[in-house]
């Protein structure tokens, strides 16, 4: 049975989530305070963590960062009323794998959970340890990126986005495809968090170099290629 930790201080919401997940045969532990939730999460006894952001004690962003440091492969889903693009970017930067805004449909929550569990449990084919393109190098073992021999510091989501772009070099990639493969979610046309992350990457890997690698295809998406 898949074990899920839910960190949610609103009793009604927490009870609703637990009841809905248990009906789908998940084993659910509910924590109503941030510090208690973090302590449970760090035991490593769960396959997925769902956390609110605004919590008594330590908040969900800090919880996510500490889980990501201690358990890099743990799927984390943020479930919160904070729904702006900036809020989502902050959540992803803190290490969340997915982000669902309240009020939510339980069916959508279940779809997000299944996608995260599938991504983290299905065996992936052996991939190359390094991705190389032009003078850019991405090392999947050490999680480091260098361009022209200079190391570039990326957040976990920036790293995953760059990895996907490099794996799909020289073809146009839509925002919907990026959302589904990097964030395991459907692209919400009402937010521009993907464009925000593309701009973050551009500033870090393109700005100081004459050879640009990330290009926008108006109305279609982005393409990773030299020139």
Q: How far apart are CA 48 and CA 116, in angstroms?
A: 8
Is the domain spanning 3-121 CATH 2.30.30.40? The answer is no
| Residue 149: Cβ within 10 Å count | 7
| Residue 177: Cβ within 10 Å count | 15
- For the chain, which ranges sit under pLDDT 50? 123-126
pLDDT of residue 125: 47
Where in the sequence of the chain do the CATH 1.10.10.10 domains occur?
Answer: 130-224
pLDDT of residue 121: 61
Q: How far apart are CA 74 and CA 7, in angstroms?
A: 15
- Secondary structure in 3-state letters for 124-151: CCCCCCEEEECCEEEECCCCEEEECCEE
Where in the sequence of the chain do the CATH 3.40.50.2300 domains occur?
Answer: 3-121
Q: How far is CA 162 from the centre of its chain?
A: 13
pLDDT of residue 188: 66
pLDDT tens digits for 109-164?
Answer: 999 999 999 877 654 444 558 899 999 999 988 889 999 999 999 998 899 999 99
pLDDT of residue 205: 95
CB 166 within 8 A of CB 136: yes
Report in angstroms the alpha-carbon separations of 94 from 63, 77, 164, 175, 195: 9, 11, 19, 21, 18
Report in angstroms the alpha-carbon separations of 96 from 28, 213, 219: 19, 27, 28
CATH of domain 130-224: 1.10.10.10
Q: How many CA atoms lie within 13 A of 86 on its CB side?
A: 0
């Amino acid at each position: 049975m898949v074990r899920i930790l839910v960190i949610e201080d609103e009793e009604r919401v927490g009870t609703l989530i637990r009841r809905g997940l248990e009906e789908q045969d998940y084993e659910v532990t509910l924590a109503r305070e941030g510090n208690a939730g973090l302590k449970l999460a760090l035991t490593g006894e769960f396959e997925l963590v769902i956390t609110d952001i605004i919590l008594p004690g330590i908040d969900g962003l800090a919880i996510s960062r500490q889980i990501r440091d201690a358990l890099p492969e743990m799927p984390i889903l943020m479930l919160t009323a904070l729904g702006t693009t900036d809020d989502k970017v902050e959540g992803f930067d803190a290490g969340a794998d997915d982000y669902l805004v309240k009020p939510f449909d339980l069916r959508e929550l279940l779809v997000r959970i299944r996608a995260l569990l599938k991504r983290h449990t299905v065996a992936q084919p052996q991939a190359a340890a390094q991705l190389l393109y032009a003078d850019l190098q991405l090392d999947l073992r050490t999680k480091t990126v260098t361009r022209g021999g200079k190391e570039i510091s990326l957040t976990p989501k920036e790293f995953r986005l760059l990895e996907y772009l490099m794996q799909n070099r020289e073809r146009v990639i839509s925002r919907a495809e990026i959302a589904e493969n990097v964030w395991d979610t459907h692209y919400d046309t009402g937010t521009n968090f993907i464009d925000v992350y593309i701009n973050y990457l551009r500033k870090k890997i393109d700005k100081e170099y004459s050879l640009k690698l990330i290009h926008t295809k108006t109305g279609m998406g982005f393409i990773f290629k030299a020139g």
